[in-house]
Amino acid sequence: GVTFEAVIVPPPSARQVIAKQSSWTNTSVRDTEIAGLKQEVDRLSGEGSQGDLTASTATTAAVGRDVACSGLNSPRQSLQYSPTNLSSTLLSPSPPRALSWAFRAAHEDFTLFDTTVAVGIIGCPGNNRVIAHLLKQIANFEDSSGRGRNLRAMKDVNHLHIEVRALANSGKMLFAEHGVPPEQLESATNDLDALHADLSKEAPEGEFDLASAEWSALGEYMGTKRIPHKVLIDCTDSDDVAKSYPEWLKRGIHVVSQNKRVGAGSLDLYRDVMEVTRKSEANLYLESMVGAQMPIISVMHDIVQTGDNITRVDGIFSGTMGYILDRVQRAEGTTFSEALAEAKERGLPEPDPFADVSGLDTARKALVLARELGFDLELEDVTVESLVPKDAEGKGWDALQEALKASTDAELAARVSEAQAKGECLRYVGRVDAVAGKISVGLRSFPMDHPFSTTRDSETTIAFRTGQYTEATPLLLRGPGAGPVAIASGVFADLLRLTKNL
């Protein structure tokens, strides 16, 4: 493959080297003033960007176009080329960050990766930590020296390049013409105004734009980029964002979604999204909706595709509820409300914790699986045992805590005592009965040697009953299924899974 090497010489060294060009002794290096190439660019812009790099004039022009358009001050460039390698040293008194834009743009023109994916990420204030971890993982991936290892698992991603071209929240959208620099992804926060100001300090004009959030406009921006593979990642809990999926998919934009408003929202919207996905070249990946990085949906698909028949799926789907019940039963004297507060400190609950303690989160995840099994059910069809009064919904954290202390703490303590008297353990479980076509959610009591009873902390545990995996020997999945790191890892895994099929 073709490699591209760049050496960027920032000021004041650039001024010194430019003044001593005679010291460059390699005769194969071509020294040229980029500004002088502008008239030649239009004629040669389609040549030399792939394949044989010995077309030196076209090669120089291709890099020169990007450098000249970057607004550098008195740039000079040396190029050394062969059929498989282009080495370039760019000298300019311009700021270092401005120099980096030129080479990042040139990288794109030479298609130096087998697959480049333009990514837009949509978050919300309640998911700040998920977005932060996701951006960190992308930055680490882009900077990973281990990607060249000869591991079979790395084969599909060794030559993948991810460019974060858009970041959005409920109020603003940040557009990055050539992507947010990997070194700044980790510091990107929900304050897009501050991020835009920082990125724009030394960048060429128009490199970054800030606009009001408008999901159709986001799709239009992503859809018009010259990179053929576009992905929008939805880490929100927004109906408005979910309703934009059909439009995005029709544009050929892939969607990676952690937003359960799609998988467990309106059945009409779900059908519309799935129908558009079926007809479109774009794909929808929603593995992280249930169990974060745990491959629950993938395993379910494998079971069905290999000819087995799923009869029932039971699961501790809510990491928050799993944590609460584990704490209440193993830490003597801990109440439901106290355990929820601890879970909140660890970042386990949904943006609105009421969704966890009311059973809504578990119901949604179970509904996602039921629909994957072909059941046309609405959320209202799920039988849910809530552990909190309905009137606490939407009233905020303090009101929720008051409601739990007023009734739930004592009621749950009594249920725990009852289960322990029988030598059993209490768990909050979602059940998809694929024989009856029904979903139920609520507290269940299990023997102490049951797989659900041995679950610890915020673990997610799923049990599949099928023709092959019977009541006595179900297929079990168990592991971290909640929290910012696990969710971000699940979303990123979905993104990588998507790129393998491009």
CA dist 426 and 3 (Å) reads 59
Residues 6+ apart with CB under 8 A from 48: 55, 57, 58, 59, 61, 62
C-alpha R_g of the chain: 27
Dihedral pair phi/psi, residue 184, rounded to 5°: -110, 0
Q: Using a CB cutoff of 8 Å and minimum separation of 24, what contacts does 154-157 make?
A: 156/496, 156/499, 156/500, 157/496, 157/499, 157/500
> For residue 129, how many other CB atoms are within 10 A of its CB?
15
For residue 149, the Cα-to-chain-centroid distance in whole angstroms is 24
Bridge partners for 160 per DSSP: 115
E strand or H helix that includes residue 108: helix 96-109
Beta pairing class for 115-122 and 160-168:
parallel
Nearest to 402 by CA among 412, 418, 391: 391
E strand or H helix that includes residue 76: strand 76-81
Is 365 tagged catalytic?
A: yes
Residue 494 CB-half CA count within 13 A: 34
Catalytic one of 38, 250, 365, 438: 365
Q: Which residues of 196-234 are buried (b: 16+ CB within 10 A; e: fewer)?
A: beebeeebbeebbeeeebebeebbebbbebebebbbbbb
Q: For residue 149, give both structure tokens.
A: 């290892």
E strand or H helix that includes residue 354: helix 354-357
CA dist 326 and 223 (Å) reads 47
Q: Which residues of 310-346 are buried (b: 16+ CB within 10 A; e: fewer)?
A: bbbbbbbbbbbbbbbbbbbbeeeebbbbbbbeebeee
Residue type, 305: Q
Grouping H, G, I as helix, E, B as strand and the rest as coil, residue 234 is: strand
Which residues are known catalytic residues? 365
